[in-house]
Amino acid sequence: MLYYLALAAIAFGVTFVATPLVRRLAFAVGAVDVPDARKVHRGVMPRLGGLAIFLGFLAGVGWLSAGFAEIGAALLGGVIVVLTGALDDRFGLSPLVKLIGQMLAAAVVIAAGIRMEFIHLPFAAEKTLEFGLLAVPITLFWIVGVTNAINLIDGLDGLAAGVTAIAAATMFVLSLQLGNVPAALMAAALVGSLAAFLIFNFHPAKIFMGDSGSLFLGYMMAVMALLGFKQVALTSFIVPLLVLAVPLSDTLFAIVRRMLNGQSIAAPDKRHLHHALLAVGLSHRQAVLAIYGLSAFFGLSAILFSRATVWIEAAVLVAAGFVLVVLADVLELVHRSFHPIRRMLRLPPHPERSRGR
């Protein structure tokens, strides 16, 4: 354990030193975020914080890449996705160009053999579902999907960094339980670098991670989850879904919401989870801390699910699903008419709806 703590400490120290330097660099090259109608911050903010996170992560595990092919592949793909995000932070790339960068990064780890080749079916001992020729496209979809899910929740100071740190810490515990050394090493380094970055990124933030950070974090979480699929106890597809439940559910709600409203699924809006919490009266910090708590709940659920009996697994899934439905109902994350809990309990309409919202 001391080895992992030392590795996390190295990542922490490098990111802590690098973040102020990257902040100056962002201003110098014009990689800044200007407020608009969809954003909650005031004043011009430097971006490129993802470079500092990546440098800390690289310092923590880069020297181990020769001994672990998985780490080497993840770092190479990470370079591609960080560069893609950094160019977007400075110049504003088109969605297609960003997608191509993400797919190239995914192709690196796929070529290295890190693929979703099968999953263990939940509640069915010794039963697996083999993907065969579909392994490559499914893996590609998973990496790109998770990468963009983290990118979508990066809307408040410290939100994406904190949520990912909690998810990475959960992945670290699960990886230790399974003896998955490469995943545990990367998770420890990621937690260390994010802990340091949060010193500068928590509200009121001094720097944003930008797409260079959010894309890198999503990519790394996707890759670490894939490494888990190679381990017997973590191959139930539900475990990584629980670990990443907050960003994935927020993305799913956004897709359904936009489809129901006749919008493109790529159309931006201000009805994500963090927007909804602000709308009901929570302060910036309260909204972020509330989502941290939700992330911790799902992280603990994932750990419990991975070690539990069938009946406890079922109970965990029911509890997790109920929490998501309640959130979608109360905060109207899916649609203003989506109120299954209110209808079941025969409660009056949402107060905002009754005022003709």
Structure tokens given for 216: 């890198």
Look up residue 133 and give its DSSP letter. Answer: G
| Phi, psi (degrees; rounded to nearest 5) at 23 | -60, -45
Cα–Cα distances (Å) from 83 to 16, 91, 93, 138, 319, in that order, read 21, 12, 11, 24, 40
Q: What three-state secondary structure class fits 129?
A: strand
Instruction: Please state, in angstroms and rounded to a whole number, the distance separating the CA atoms of residues 240 and 168.
Output: 11
Please check if 151 is assigned to a binding site.
Answer: yes
Bridge partners of residue 119, in order along the sequence = 129
Q: What three-state secondary structure class fits 202?
A: coil
Q: What three-state secondary structure class fits 179?
A: coil
Q: Which residues of 23-62 are buried (b: 16+ CB within 10 A; e: fewer)?
A: beebeeeebbbeeeeeeebeeebbbbbbbbbbbbbbbbbe
Contacts of 289 (CB under 8 A, 6+ apart): none
Binding residues for Mg(2+): 151, 211
Binding residues: 151, 211
